[in-house]
Amino acid sequence: MDFSGKASIITGASQGIGEAIALDLAQHGAEVVLVDIQKQKLDEVAQKIKDDKGKAFAYEVDVSHMEKVAEAVQTMIQNHGAVHHLVNNAGITRDNLLMRMKEDDWDLVMAVNLKGVFNFSKALIRHMIGNRYGRIVNISSVVGLMGNPGQSNYSASKAGVVGFTKSLAREVASRGITVNAVAPGYIETSMTDNLPEAAKNQFLDIIPMRRFGMPKEVAQVVRFLLSDEAAYITGQVININGGMFM
């Protein structure tokens, strides 16, 4: 797959799955537009790509603020011309049992994980419709499909991403735009590194492949969905979970 001449926006690109997606797309010729609120880490990812002879540009943007996202997207379009790909990956957790969960933790997870997808998609969709071309991939989660104790906010936000994906896919399919989601299972990232060993072992017990996934394995599926080879795939949720949920 050759993405030369294509501009790809990746939110939450400073680490983990977002970083892996950015590195993978850059290695295949894309001009990657990195978005995150962690500017120092974002600059480090951009430099890593540049050191590998790739093209990367870092933008510090809070995905939860619509006006800031709209302004940033207009700047990106001016700076990079046509934007071909959007990967909505930014996400956070604020885990707790529902009876102990604070309203602020519910609201913040929804604002980043779900509203952030809405904000970036809305800011870009007219541009993609005008070009009659676009690829949007939203990062959901296995827990958005099966649930998980202590993650009612995170699970609800990721389930919302699935519904959003299917609805937007129907709206823009006739305009040459595909909208899909991927739902990773347990992937080795800084977010999952913080889990206690007992919790990790519980996850291993329900994963038929008996191992955790790697960020690059998610990135490879995202790259396929962004490619012209996936032109007839839209409104789908691709599970990447080693059989954890079928």
Render pLDDT for 107-150 as a digit per residue (tens, 0 to 9). Answer: 999 999 999 999 999 999 999 999 999 999 999 999 999 999 99
Average pLDDT over residues 170-184: 98
> Domain spans of the chain?
7-240
Which residue type occupies 227? Answer: S
| Residue 103's pLDDT band (cuts 50, 70, 90) | very high
pLDDT at 194 over 80: no
Q: Identify the three-state secondary structure at position 77.
A: helix
CA pair distance 236, 180, nearest whole angstrom: 5
Residue 47 has a pLDDT of: 98
> What's the DSSP call for residue 98?
G
pLDDT at 193 over 90: no
CB neighbours of residue 49 within 10 Å: 25
pLDDT at 189 over 90: no
> What's the DSSP call for residue 118?
H
CB neighbours of residue 234 within 10 Å: 20
Q: Identify the three-state secondary structure at position 166.
A: helix
User: For 56-91, what is each residue's pLDDT tens digit?
Assistant: 999 999 999 999 999 999 999 999 999 999 999 999
pLDDT at 158 over 80: yes
* pTM (two decimals): 0.96
Instruction: Please list the active-site residues.
Output: 154
Q: Is residue 89 a contact partner of residue 10, using CB atoms and an 8 Å limit? A: yes
Average pLDDT over residues 31-60: 98
CA pair distance 145, 177, nearest whole angstrom: 25
Looking at domain 7-240, its CATH superfamily turns out to be NAD(P)-binding Rossmann-like Domain (3.40.50.720)
CA pair distance 179, 175, nearest whole angstrom: 11
Q: Tokens in use for 74?
A: 């207009």
Please identify which residue in the block is written with the tokens 């006739």. 174
Residue 190 has a pLDDT of: 76
> What's the DSSP call for residue 113?
I
